[in-house]
Amino acid sequence: MYEFNYRHANSVPDAIAAMQAADDGKFLAGGQTMLPTMKHRLAGPSDLIDLKGIAELKGINVTDQSVTIGAMTTHAEVAASTQVQNAIPALARLAGNIGDPAVRNCGTLGGSIANNDPAADYPSAVLALGATVKTSQREIPADEFFTGMFETALAEDEIIVSVSFPVAESAAYMKFENPASRYAIVGVFVAKTAGTVRVAVTGATTCAHRALRIEEALAGELDAEKVDAVTIPVEKMNSDIHASADYRAHLVIVMAKRAIAAASS
């Protein structure tokens, strides 16, 4: 790892000022991706601005309509929250199956979606539930947030404050995971809200996305059989040592059907 300046921010304005003063700064959330990336020298920021000490970025607030989770809330905290378990059980289960227990004690919601790893779990939930990402500058709808591989709509000095997930009538997440890393080879999140069914896929392509063909086939109903007729374009699928493009395209259908079945039961 290259040496860098470590800065501990006490507030959001403090963190933004530190970022603006840095040559090539990065915000540090839970560090579970940032630090391995720096160890491999795939990143070498001049400054790391630690957001851990900012109280307003933490916590969970649940109402009848929504679950709002602070950006620096850890996966373990989301998974263990009885409020989240009751309001959107699929979201709590998703958080409880990221990485392993020690990783979940550090990794955060904000860190996950800001990094936007193609195989991360949370982006699929943000998209399928139609969440809103609240930042230090604005509110970004899920459909505008994830813009490409490791790319988001965030500006360099923009910090995620919280993510607000609408409470769904029913939802489920199914992940075909890499047995070593627990990242999704393919993961599908299905959510039904007021007559609409949204389906989001992670792990399959360069960026989590809504599976519009599956959504159209379902037409607002959680009926797994309707997915059988859907064709997934193979040419857009990732292909690597873990799974070929053909296999991933197949897995999208399989995991979508499993998620639909789980959401409708």
Segment contacting another protein by CB under 8 A, of 102-110, 204-212, 213-221, 256-264: 102-110
- Between CA 84 and CA 213 the distance in angstroms is 30
* Chain mean position to CA 206: 14
Helical ranges in the chain per DSSP H: 12-21, 34-39, 75-80, 82-87, 89-96, 101-104, 109-115, 122-128, 142-145, 212-218, 245-264
Segment contacting another protein by CB under 8 A, of 26-34, 146-154, 197-205, 250-258: 26-34
CB of 24 to another protein, least distance (A): 14
Closest to another protein by CB, 6 vs 59, is 6
- Between CA 227 and CA 263 the distance in angstroms is 14
Q: Is residue 6 part of the contact set for another protein (CB under 8 A)?
A: yes
Among 20, 39, 56, 221, binds another protein (CB under 8 A): 39
CB of 116 to another protein, least distance (A): 19
Torsion angle defined by CA atoms of residues 11, 69, 134 and 193, in that order, rounded to the nearest 10 degrees:
180
* CB contact set of 258 (below 8 Å; sequence gap of 6+): 174, 188, 224
CB of 65 to another protein, least distance (A): 30
**Per-residue binder mask for another protein (CB under 8 A), 204-243, x = binder:** ----------------------------------------
Binding positions for another protein, rule: CB under 8 A: 1-6, 8, 28, 31-32, 35-36, 38-39, 48, 50, 52, 76, 80, 99-103, 105-106, 180-182
